[in-house]
Structure 1
Amino acid sequence: MQDAIEIVLKRYDVDKLLGRALFTRSNWHQSLSDRHWPEDVPDLRERLLRAGSRVQAFAVPMTLNRIVAQGEHWAFKARGTPQGFAELLAAVQRALKAEGIDDRVGHTPHVTISYTAPANLRPPKIRESIDWILDEILLVSGGGTPYHYEVVGRWPLIPIAASSQQSLF
């Protein structure tokens, strides 16, 4: 999936357009909660880790079909609202609430590729669709120069059952 995104980025020169503002592959992500600052609450990291282990939800397939810029934030956006996305988001919010963490920020299906794109740029219109499966939840700590994520916790989502076709014979 990341290979497909990288191919599209190169085909439309987005990698050149954004330059160093383009996230590395390891930073491409779908947010499912607001940012939380553990420095303000000493036990927050432990509560976030417990919340992650509480989430029970299915993986969500998305079809990304455009690049959207909202100020400096650039992201691939999904076509419509993928089946299961609202349920996944609700499961994350329930798990956070169970740990006393208020998080009601809405999220749309997307894959962030930059937080620091020059505001005067417009993303190209792409013709390809990219299939992306949200198959795990990561708790990350972000920062540094260049901006990067450190994975603090990870939890697999329930795999989507493979469709089967009965034999015609």
Structure 2
Amino acid sequence: MQLNRLFFALWPDEAARSASREAARQLQLRLQPGGYLSSPERYHLTLLFLGDQVRPEHEQAALRAAEGLRAAPFELCLDQAGSFRNKSVPWWLGPRQPPEALTQLHERLREAMARAQVPVERMRFVPHLTIARDARRVLPPTPVTPIRWAVQDFVLIRSRLDRQPLEYEILGRWPLTGAAATAPPSSPPPQLDLGF
């Protein structure tokens, strides 16, 4: 089957992208992780991974299903860095406490794909924005100066692995226009500012 890697994601606005790039640069300068920094043009936060070989009919069904999804816009605060322990040891930025609206968006997308009979990869949702790969060491949870990101929409992306360097092609973009949650907002956790 032909390679067709697709995923739903949040695509940062220029302010969030620029602040994330600066946080990555500061982490690199202070902690010397080795490896290489991710290209800011490819920064994203994956909401739902559909797979590496998505059939054309499933791609079309995913696009149609996303059209009917309703969720409220929200603010995302990237306030810590960390890494995964997989082979490429990626370093990332993410929220210490993901907002409920983000979790709901992920769940609604998963439910919409199930209704549309679009297969998705089964993996735990850990919201993060990858800033570096092939680090020489694991980064424990590290507070960073909060990056506030006003999330207004979500996208479906095709990973163009046939191009070097790899490119992302946005196949669809949908605004978040649903009603806000009725629960009172929770107080943000105290922030530790390390000066970057």
TM range, smaller chain: 0.7 to 0.9
Q: What's the TM-score once normalised by structure 1's chain length?
A: 0.77
Task: Pick closer, same or farther for the CA change 1:69–1:44 going to 2, 3 Å.
Answer: same
Residue type at the aligned position of 2:68: R
Q: Which residue of 2 aligns with 1:152?
A: 171
Asked whether the 8 Å contact 1:76–1:110 carries over to 2, the reply is yes
Is the strand fraction higher in 1 or 2? Answer: 2
- Asked if the contact 1:69–1:122 (Cα under 8 Å) also holds between the matched residues in 2, the reply is yes
1:99 CA displacement: 1.1
Q: What percentage of aligned pairs have identical amino acids?
A: 22
For 1:113 and 1:133, locate their aligned partners in 2 and report how far apart those are by CA, in whole Å: 19
RMSD across aligned positions (CA): 2.8
> Please, which of 43, 57, 62 is the counterpart of residue 57 of structure 2?
43
Contact 1:38/1:45 (<8 A) preserved: no
SS at match of 1:129: strand
User: Are 1:112 and 2:130 an aligned pair?
Assistant: yes
Change (3 A) 1:43 1:50: same
Question: Are the equivalent residues in 1 in contact too, given 2:79–2:147 (CA < 8 A)?
Answer: yes
Alpha carbons of structure 1 residues 74 and 148: separation in structure 2 relative to 1, 3 Å: farther
Tell me the TM-score normalised to structure 2 length.
Answer: 0.68
Q: Distance in 1 between matches of 2:50 and 2:151?
A: 19
1:140 offset after TM fit, Å?
A: 0.7
Contact 1:66 1:77 in 2 (8 A): yes
Pair 1:62-2:76 in alignment: yes
1:141 paired to 2:158: yes
Are 2:42 and 1:27 aligned? yes
Quick check: 1:7 aligned with 2:22? yes
Q: Are residues 160 and 127 of structure 1, via their aligned partners in 2, closer, same or farther at CA, if it must alter by over 3 Å?
A: farther
Cα gap change, 1:52 to 1:6, in 2 (>3 Å)? same
Q: Give the match for residue 166 of structure 1.
A: none
Q: Which structure 2 residue ranges, 5 or more long, are not aligned?
A: 1-15, 181-196
Amino acid at match of 1:121: R
Name structure 1 gaps, 5 residues minimum: 162-169
Q: Structure 2 matches for 1:116-131, cutoff 5 A?
A: 117-123=133-139, 125-131=142-148
After the TM superposition, which of the residue ranges 21-30 and 124-133 deviates more from structure 2? Answer: 124-133
In 2, are the aligned partners of 1:62 and 1:133 still within 8 Å (CA)?
yes
Partner of 1:84: 101
Cα distance in 2 between the residues matched to 1:154 and 1:119 = 32
Amino acid at match of 2:107: A
